[in-house]
Amino acid sequence: MSCESEHVTYVQAARDFESKLERVKTSSGRLTYVHTYAALIGKLEAPPRRIGFWAKAAGVACCMALVGGVAMLFKGGPVKGDVRGEMGFALVGHNTGEAEAQCLAIESSMAAYNDAMAMQGETAYINMGKAAQNELLNSGYKYMKGYKRAATDDMDSVRWWVKDGACVIAFQGSDSLPDFVNNWDPAPVDKWNMTQVHRGLTVELEPLLTMMQPDFPEMNSTCNTSVMVTGHSLGGGLAQMFTMALNSNADLLKAGFTADSLYTYGAMPVSAVGTKNDQAADGCFPGALFFNAENSTGTVRVDIVRAPQVGAPLLQPIKYIKKVLLFNYEAPMVIPCGEDIPASVALYPGFDLHDPRIYATNIGCGYIDRLQIAAAGDTVM
Return the amino acid letter for 234.
Answer: L
Judge if 85 and 107 occupy the same domain.
Answer: no
Judge if 218 and 339 occupy the same domain.
Answer: yes
Judge if 32 and 163 occupy the same domain.
Answer: no
Q: How far apart are CA 322 and CA 284, in angstroms?
A: 8
CA 342 to chain centre: 19
- What value does the CA radius of gyration of the chain take, rounded to a whole number of Å? 20
For residue 200, the model assigns a pLDDT of 96
Judge if 217 and 258 occupy the same domain.
Answer: yes
Return the amino acid letter for 243.
Answer: T
Q: Which of 32, 61, 90 is the last residue of a domain?
A: 90
Q: Which of 68, 90, 112 is the last residue of a domain?
A: 90
Torsion of CA 163, 365, 137, 376, to 10 degrees: 150
Judge if 86 and 159 occupy the same domain.
Answer: no
For residue 36, the model assigns a pLDDT of 27
Counting every residue, how long is the chain?
381
Domain contains 373: no
Judge if 12 and 83 occupy the same domain.
Answer: yes
Helix (H) or strand (E) holding 56: helix 52-63
CB atoms within 10 A of CB 34: 15
Q: What are the E-state strand segments in the chain?
A: 83-84, 90-91, 142-151, 154-163, 166-171, 188-191, 194-198, 226-232, 261-265, 287-294, 301-302, 323-326, 333-335, 346-347
Judge if 128 and 23 occupy the same domain.
Answer: no
Closest CA to 170 of 6, 356, 294: 356
Domain contains 378: no
Judge if 21 and 148 occupy the same domain.
Answer: no
Domain contains 57: yes
Judge if 196 and 301 occupy the same domain.
Answer: yes
Domain contains 380: no
Domain contains 322: yes
The DSSP code for 215 is: G
Q: How far are the Cα atoms of 20, 74, 80, 281 from residue 77, in angstroms, in the given order?
A: 20, 9, 10, 40
Q: What is the pLDDT along the chain (381 residues), one digit of tens a residue?
A: 444 344 444 444 444 444 443 333 333 332 322 222 222 223 233 333 333 333 333 333 333 222 222 222 222 222 222 333 322 233 333 456 888 999 999 999 999 999 887 765 567 888 889 999 999 999 999 999 999 888 777 889 999 999 999 999 999 999 888 899 999 999 999 999 999 999 999 999 999 999 999 999 999 999 999 999 999 999 999 999 999 999 999 999 999 999 999 999 999 999 999 899 999 999 999 999 999 999 877 899 999 999 999 999 999 999 999 999 999 878 899 999 999 999 999 998 888 899 998 999 888 887 776 776 434 434 322
CATH number of the domain bearing residue 255: 3.40.50.1820
Domain contains 381: no
Domain contains 372: no
> Range of 119's domain?
94-367
Judge if 158 and 203 occupy the same domain.
Answer: yes
For residue 313, the model assigns a pLDDT of 92
For residue 18, the model assigns a pLDDT of 43
Q: Which of 90, 115, 141 is the last residue of a domain?
A: 90
Domain count, the chain: 2
pTM: 0.76
SS3 at position 134? helix
Closest CA to 331 of 6, 3, 82, 17: 82
For residue 265, the model assigns a pLDDT of 98
CB atoms within 10 A of CB 96: 10
Domain contains 204: yes
For residue 54, the model assigns a pLDDT of 34
Judge if 56 and 152 occupy the same domain.
Answer: no
* Contact present, 234 and 194 (Cβ < 8 Å): no
Judge if 51 and 65 occupy the same domain.
Answer: yes
For residue 142, report the phi and psi dihedrals to the nearest 5 degrees: -100, 130
The secondary structure of 71-116 as a DSSP string is: S--SS----TT-EE-TTS-EETT--HHHHHHHHHHHHHHHHGGGG-
